[in-house]
A and B are shown apart, each in its own frame.
Chain A
């Protein structure tokens, strides 16, 4: 079995490298380079100045040389520096990733709580007006483009109702480490982002709950004289939750970069804006850094899953051995 996983790992490494090579090629072949982004077409930079910038950025070397340089640097643990302002890429990604994960995590939590709650309640009170209303609202959440939800939400809750601040993660001039300030800025973008998730969880929970509510074993339990509340909580809910947990798990990848639009509109300095900035500026160390981090995390997670799964299910262990 160990050999099986070793083989898997050995395949993942070239695949990861392949992805970085692919991304690098695309970034390199894209028209324009980091120096071309650096100067506005409305100003006058002389040819010599432009060439000097390109030279000092190392852009005149062949792509192969640059890719190998990047590989070597990365192998030593250094993800390079942004072309735009020399920021080291590694710590930058870490900071931004944390912020995006917080935003995405809270949004998913909102989505789970609200979605599951609504799903359970409406399943229990099927065909009520509340059921229909929730259905419509939930579906609206997934049918509107993300940027539009953001703009509309910011306009209504930020400007018209003035319940929440307009963007940013802390109040300028205040204490950047203030947790309450941070949470205050987090609520609106997270809530708007969660509108996407609510619908999904709502549907699955409701469907799953409905299925379970009509099951035979519940009828038995009721016939035995169990109180309705225990029937629901102990039997129905637990069984209904199983498939929903799978769906929750499936939405975790979205946490990493999926909040691009909300981040842009709320000026939430996270991974989404970082990546867009990198692409716009052809900042290939940044693009590569982000790709590498994402790919590694994903491949690692895959591997861990496979290991965990094989430990949990003995059939897999036997199967892999026979492989």
Chain B
């Protein structure tokens, strides 16, 4: 036996990888007019992987204290070889990741891939989406610049308005009553330890579930297959689907490199907690639609604080959205499905429109 063969059989007796490889070889991906959407899951995973790698590199130089955070990021950008590249990629990829995770979620929604038996996949996916938003919110503060400082102040302020638990939540997030260096250290802990741990567990579960159930075929394609009697074509995961995945990943990598070189992420000005808030504070773009909505709500509605209604509405909306698989069960009729699709389209349109509104000139 060759050396390689000996090594393989040694590993085989101990790890038994061949079983896994066989499983991977068996996996097949259906091919139909909607199967392009299948790539989004892998793209999200790839971008998350980029975040982990660039994040780990950044934390070798980053200092989570209000006196040194800004300077350490400046140091990475200016002095560390290729630091500008790693940091800009991390920032851009974060935004791309949030965008792709939303597209992934909406595509799963509209293709109704959350139906039985994939309810738990949907659930874990929604939780992962919330975790990605938490990553974005906590990470945004870490460079400790003016925009981030005040955006965090506004964001945690809103969290504090939730009835009953709001005050506690605000203090838990801020590490005190105000946004201070303590908040920074706490957010750093969330960003590099707590959230990654939770993500690892949920992501593991999510991926296992996807492997267990295979790729969902949209109802329209299933119906068509039943009609014509032809089952949908499929593609082996290895190597066909994976190679196509790789093409997407290479495009993403190239895009990130281009963004890092042509639109490097700005450093901003170091945060000064005692300076007045500058005009035009707003949170990151993916929170803007909520921010704009809260601003549009009238001061009081039926005797209740307008913003509070907004916050509760978002909370309720998120809850309902997360529980969609249980609402759209097998028992639901065609009308319910159409209503859900309409609701989904409206939600998507609303979010997109409000995001655009936030960036209109003169808005801030």
Q: Do A and B bind each other?
A: no
Q: Which residues of A contact B (CB under 8 A)?
A: none
